[in-house]
Amino acid sequence: MPLSSLFARVGAALFGGSSEADDVDAALLDECVDAIVEAVDPRLKLMPRYRSRLAPATICSIRFLRSLAPRLPDPIELSRDAWSADPYINAFFATPNDVQTCLDRNVELGAFFRDPSNAQLDAAYGVLGMRREERNVLASALVEGEVRRDVAQTTVGFTTHTLLGMAGDIGTTRGLLGEAILERVAGLALERIVAVRDRAVELETRKSMLATRLRMLTLRRGNLQSLAAGEQDPSAEIAALQRELETTAEDHLELKTDLATLDHSFAQIEAVLGEPARHLGMDTIELRVSHTGYKVDAASRETAAALRLNELWIGSNLHAVIVPVCVPRSALSSAASG
């Protein structure tokens, strides 16, 4: 089965519904292991009982991902008109024109509505992903009934709006999101494996450099060394180089052994899948935001929208607010809908 199909089937099983069942079906477990192995290091399939070795860690990740799926709320409408009616869309986009630009520029959304098989559908479902950015600024504010200048405030903005997982029903969209998350998790394991390989190359280079300098100093320390003007006795440096070279050679040999036996690949996959909460999560962010984009304290009487957001994070680089959305066909401009 192609890699994309494996991830799609597993993603649909994990995120397509809202079940938090603790039991893990054997077929799902095997497909999940195969999807990860095929993406990270296909050579592991040649190892006997590779599925049974990775099963415990994979079960941990399956259960963890299932626990995240129910946190996603029902979809909200994403359209130019919704900017005035929905406090979430109003907070996510600065103007209704920004909403329109996001919709019209999304290639996946346009292709969905142009597909003849979707001609009878009046709406598309997807996930809106964004980066949340907060900045501390000085601005005018209403304090105890008076307008004051240069008041410390926090702006809340959303950037890099991305629509993904476009489908004709929300269940399929959730499955596509699960697929994308699983692919990213597999990427974390592969990054760790690549880091080990890079470290092995680094140690090999360092070992070669140390050996070369050691030979140079050894050749320099000869019967004529005392006659060389300004040269110090290299004995101390030679001894230090020898110690460092021995340590570097040992570390390099250990990494090469791991790389040769594929144990490092198993270890890195187990490290990521076995402790999923260390590598991904979905945080709940609650905040009040004014119409002008300032964070409002919970105790303040200032008019503000109360937002409850789900922020997905995977690894150290990916942090994004994700919101299931429903996009009416009529929301696209005539040029974008084709």
pLDDT band at 290 (very low <50, low <70, confident <90, very high): confident
CB 27, CB 13: distance < 8 Å:
no
Hey, how many other C-beta atoms are within 10 angstroms of the C-beta on 201? 11
Question: For 150, phi and psi rounded to 5 degrees?
Answer: 55, 45
CB 221, CB 234: distance < 8 Å:
yes
pLDDT tens per residue, range 47-67: 889 999 999 999 999 889 888
Distance CA 310, CA 76 (A): 14
Q: What is the pTM of this model?
A: 0.79
pLDDT band at 3 (very low <50, low <70, confident <90, very high): very low
SS3 assignment, position 41: coil
Using alpha carbons, select from 7, 48, 53, 55 the residue that is nearest to residue 29: 55
Taking residues 266-292, report their average pLDDT.
92
Give the largest Cα separation in the chain, rounded. Answer: 94
Burial class (CB in 10 A: 0-12, 13-18, 19+), 291: exposed
pLDDT tens per residue, range 144-173: 556 666 667 788 899 999 999 999 999 999
- The Cα-based distances of 149 to 138, 152, 153, 186, 231 in angstroms read 8, 9, 11, 50, 68
The strand pairing partners of 152, in sequence order, are 138
Using alpha carbons, select from 316, 252, 251, 254 the residue that is nearest to residue 281: 316
